[in-house]
Amino acid sequence: MKIKRILGLPGETLKIAEGNVWQDINGTDSLLIDEVYLQEHVRTCVPGACTEFEPHIYEIPQEHYFVLGDNRLNSRDSRGCVDVADCTNKKPLYISRDEILGRVIFSW
């Protein structure tokens, strides 16, 4: 069992660009998701999203969620890859509500 953070809710649109995750507000404006829990040097990438300006868009289906692990360079999550080098041509892996088992109350 792996712990992931839910960053996107059903029906939302997220994009990964410039090493960050953004929430699409209305198709033209985006809000940066402030991930204060990540270490300062950690960037969220898929191929090209940290070095190019082309964003990767994720439209989250109804009754599904977009999750990311904190170890962004080596995390099997909604980006559809195991590590950043293995993301090419992968389909997003959205998580259905019945796959969410609980929540973390305490961690050390």
**Per-residue confidence (pLDDT) for residue 83, from 0 to 100:** 58
The yes-or-no verdict on residue 66 having pLDDT over 90 is yes
The yes-or-no verdict on residue 75 having pLDDT over 90 is no
Ordered strands of the 30-32 beta sheet: 30-32, 20-24, 13-17, 56-59
Which among 52, 48, 56, 57 is positioned nearest to 84, based on CA atoms?
A: 48
More confident residue, 58 or 1: 58
Report the residue count for the chain: 108
* Residues 72, 39 contacting (CB under 8 angstroms): no
The one-character DSSP state at 4 is -
Q: Could you give the domains of the chain?
A: 5-99 (2.10.109.10)
Give the CA count within 13 Å in the CB-facing half-sphere of 37.
Answer: 10
What residue type is 37 in one-letter code?
Answer: Y
Rg (CA), the chain: 13
